[in-house]
Chains A and B, each alone.
Chain A
Amino acid sequence: MKNRKQLAENAVHGVFLLLGLITVGCVLLITVYLIISGIPAIRQIGLFNFLFGREWASTAAEPAFGILPFILTSIYGTVGAIILGVPVGFMTAVYLAKVAPPRVKAAAAHAVSLLAGIPSVVCGLIGMRVLVPGIRALFNVPDGASLLAAIIVLAVMILPSIINVSITALEAVPKEYEEASLALGATPVETYFRVSVPAAKSGIAAAVVLGVGRAVGEAMAVMMVAGNAANMPSLFESVRFLTTAVASEMSYSGGLQRQALFSIALVLFLFIMLINAVLNFFLKRSKEK
C-alpha cells in the first residue's frame, strides 16, 4: 500500500519535472538556434562591419549590411520612451500607492491593467492614424512617421509595467518608516519622497528595467509608426529599430540577407539577455532588503 503511494508520488514528480524541462528546452532550443543561424552572416560580413557599418542595403547590387543605425535607433528610442514614460509612471505609482483614496485607486488600477492588455497592434494603429498625422501638423514636417512617434507609442506601452511594479515596491515599504517620519514632523509629501521612495528604490529600478526590456523588444507598434527607412536616428526622421529590421524584411528575404536578419535577431537577443541580467540584479537586491 505504501509502495503504491510512493509510486504515484514519484510519477507526479516525474510529470512535473518533464513539464519544467519543456520550458528549459524551449529556451535552449531558441538560444542554440539563434546562435547557429546568426553566426554565419556575421562571419561573412565581419563583426566590425556588421555592428558598426552605417549603411544597410540588403538587396542592392552591392549589398551593405551595417546595423549601426538599427542599434542606435533602438537605444535612442528606448531611452526616449524611458525619459517620457518613467516620470509619468513613477508619479502615478506614488499617487496610487500613497495618496489616492481607495475608490480612485481601484478605478485607476483597473485602467492600468486595461492599458497593459491593449494589444501592441492596436497601439500601433492608433499611433498611425492619430499620432503620425498629429506630429506632421504640429511640427510642420513633411511626414509624421518618425523616431518621435515611436518614442511616444513606446512610452505609453511601458507605462503599465512601470506603474504596477512601482506600486508593489512602494506598498512593501514598512508602515513604521512612514509613521516615524510623520511623527518627526515631516509633511506627507516629504515622507513619500524622502522615506518611502528611497526605501523602495530597488523595486522602482526594477520597474524601469522592465520598461526598458519591453521597449527594446516591441516590434509591431513601432513598425507601424516609425517609417522603417534605414536612416541614422534623428527625432523627425523615419527610422528602423532592431526588431523592425527583422520583421519588415523577413518575409521575402533569401540568402545572405536572411542570414543577416538572424544575426540582427542574435544581437537583439543579447541586448534582452543583458537587460534581464540587470533586472534580476535589482530584483534580488530589493528582496534582500
Chain B
Amino acid sequence: MKKFLTLMLTAALALSLLGGCSETKGGTVATDGSTSMEEVIGVLGEAFMAQNDGVTFTYNPTGSGSGITAVQEGRCDIGLSSRSLKDEEKAAGLSETVLAYDGIAIIVNPANPVADLTLDQIAAIFTGEITNWREVGGDDAAIVLIGREAGSGTRDGFESITGTKDACAYRQELTSTGDVITTVSSNADAIGYASLAAVKDSVKALAVGGVTPDEASVKDGSYVVQRPFVLVTKSDTALSETAQQFYDFATSADAAELIAGAGVVAAQ
C-alpha cells in the first residue's frame, strides 16, 4: 500500500514537472486602463502568474480612455475599458472582447414599498431633484442617499450610467459595498447602489424600468444599470505569445469563477 502511494506520488511529481516544462518561461503581459476593472483584472493576473512561472503581469490603472489610447499606440498588450468601443475606435483598428458585465443594483430597505423606478427617476433622486419618497410612490419620508467614496469603481459606474457624474448629493459616502448594504438595511428611507453580486436579503434590489436585476437580465442587456468590462486589442496585429495566453485564459471557462468572485457577471 505504502509502496503504491509512493509510486503514485512520484508519478504525480514527474508529471507536474512535465507540465511545468510545457509552460512558457518568462514573458510579460502589460495591461492598461479602467480603474473599475482593478479587482477583476487583479484576480485574473494573480491566477495567471501563479499558473505560469516567471511570467510578469502588469496593470496600469489609468482609466478607460487612456487604456484604449495606450493599446492603439502599442504601449501595452491589452487595453482595459469599462465601456464598449465607439465606432470610430473600431474603425481605427481596435477590436473588443467583453470579459464580464458589471451589474449595479439600486438597493433600498426591505420595508420600503417602492419596488420599481425608471432610470430618470433614479437620476433625479441622486441629484437631489426628488427628495421625498412620496414623489415616486412611496411613503412620506425624506430620501437618504447612500453612495461610495470618490474614486470607487462602483460609484464611477453608477454615475456614468445614470448621467449623474459629479452631481450626486450624497448624505453618506461609505468606503465599501458591505457598508452601503448595512447602512441601507438599517435605514428605512435610504437608497444606495452596490455590485449586484454582493446584494443579500437584508436589502431590496429595485427593478429599473420594470426589469429586475439578475444574472440573466444583466447578460442580455435588458437591465440597464450595467456596463461591460472590455478587453481591447488591435485587430491587425497579433498578440505576443504570453499576452495571447493571458487572453485565452481570461476568456476561458476556468476564469469565469474567478471573475464571478470579483463581483461581476462573467460573459462566458
Query: Could you tell me which A residues sit within 8 Å of B by CB distance?
Result: 57-61, 128-129, 132-133, 136, 142-145, 223-224, 227-230, 238, 240, 247-249, 251-254, 257
A223 contacts across to B, CB distance below 8 A: 175
Min CB distance B118 to A, Å, is 23
Classify chain B's interface size. 20 to 34
Q: Which residue of B lies closest to A237 (CB)?
A: B171
Q: For the complex, give the distance between the alpha carbons of A61 and B63 in Å.
A: 13
For chain B residues 141-189, which have a beta carbon within 8 Å of chain A? 141-144, 149-153, 156, 165-166, 170-175, 179, 182-183, 186-187, 189
Q: Which residue of A lies closest to B179 (CB)?
A: A224
The answer to whether B151 and A58 have CB atoms under 8 Å apart is: yes
The answer to whether A238 and B186 have CB atoms under 8 Å apart is: no
Query: Could you tell me which B residues sit within 8 Å of A by CB distance?
Result: 35, 38, 61, 141-144, 149-153, 156, 165-166, 170-175, 179, 182-183, 186-187, 189-190
The answer to whether A252 and B183 have CB atoms under 8 Å apart is: no
Q: Which residue of B lies closest to A230 (CB)?
A: B173
Known contacts A57-B166, A143-B187, A145-B183; is A249 also within 8 Å of B172 by CB? no
Min CB distance A208 to B, Å, is 31
Q: Which residue of A lies closest to B149 (CB)?
A: A248
A-B contact pairs, 7 of them (CB 8 A): A57-B166, A61-B166, A142-B189, A223-B175, A230-B173, A249-B149, A251-B175
The answer to whether A252 and B165 have CB atoms under 8 Å apart is: no
Known contacts A143-B171, A223-B175, A227-B172; is A61 also within 8 Å of B165 by CB? yes
B141 contacts across to A, CB distance below 8 A: 142
Min CB distance B43 to A, Å, is 16
The answer to whether A143 and B186 have CB atoms under 8 Å apart is: no
The answer to whether B150 and A249 have CB atoms under 8 Å apart is: yes
Known contacts A59-B150, A143-B144, A252-B152; is A229 also within 8 Å of B171 by CB? yes
Which 10 residue pairs spanning A and B have beta carbons closest together?
Answer: A252-B151, A142-B142, A227-B172, A60-B166, A59-B150, A228-B173, A143-B144, A248-B149, A58-B150, A248-B175
Known contacts A58-B151, A136-B187, A253-B151; is A228 also within 8 Å of B172 by CB? yes
Q: For the complex, give the distance between the alpha carbons of A270 and B179 in Å.
A: 31
B61 contacts across to A, CB distance below 8 A: 254
The answer to whether A228 and B149 have CB atoms under 8 Å apart is: yes
The answer to whether A129 and B186 have CB atoms under 8 Å apart is: yes
The answer to whether A229 and B151 have CB atoms under 8 Å apart is: no
Min CB distance A131 to B, Å, is 11
The answer to whether B166 and A227 have CB atoms under 8 Å apart is: no
Q: Which residue of A lies closest to B152 (CB)?
A: A252
